[in-house]
Amino acid sequence: MDQAIAIADKGGSVMVVGVPAREVTIPLPIVQDHQIRIQGSATYLPEDYTESADLLGRGAVKTADFVTGTRPLDQVAEAFELASSGHHVKVLVTVGER
């Protein structure tokens, strides 16, 4: 959290993904002075995955509708650039051979 808050731009956001292994302290003077938003994320329930797999399996949702870029692991920096460009919905990083 300290590192994420330290590199956030003024008025930026820090997204908390996952559950920390121990209690986390927040440098509130920096958060307040730099007007940083801290947002937690929710995890999905098993039924969410089941429904998503069903929608994909039935063809009701097509991955081509939202996966707009794919890069191999050795091009991860480019994948992050694409993802932050504002021109992509979702960019995947592939690991290993396809």
Q: Residue 23: which domain range?
A: 1-43
Residue 87 resides in a domain: no
Counting beta carbons within 10 angstroms of the beta carbon of residue 4, is it exposed (0 to 12), middle (13 to 18) or buried (19 or more)? middle
Q: Could you tell me if residue 3 is inside a domain? A: yes
Query: For the segment 37-89, what is each residue's pLDDT rounded down to a tens digit?
Result: 999 887 778 898 899 999 999 999 988 888 999 999 999 999 999 999 989 98
Work out whether the CA dihedral 96, 19, 63, 75 comes out positive or negative: negative
Please check whether residue 12 lies inside any domain of the structure.
yes
Quote the pTM value.
Answer: 0.46
State how many domains the chain has: 1
Query: What is residue 64's DSSP assignment?
Result: G
How is residue 86 annotated by DSSP? Answer: T
Write out pLDDT tens, residues 2-39: 899 999 999 999 998 877 788 999 999 999 999 999 99
- Read off the DSSP letter of residue 34: T
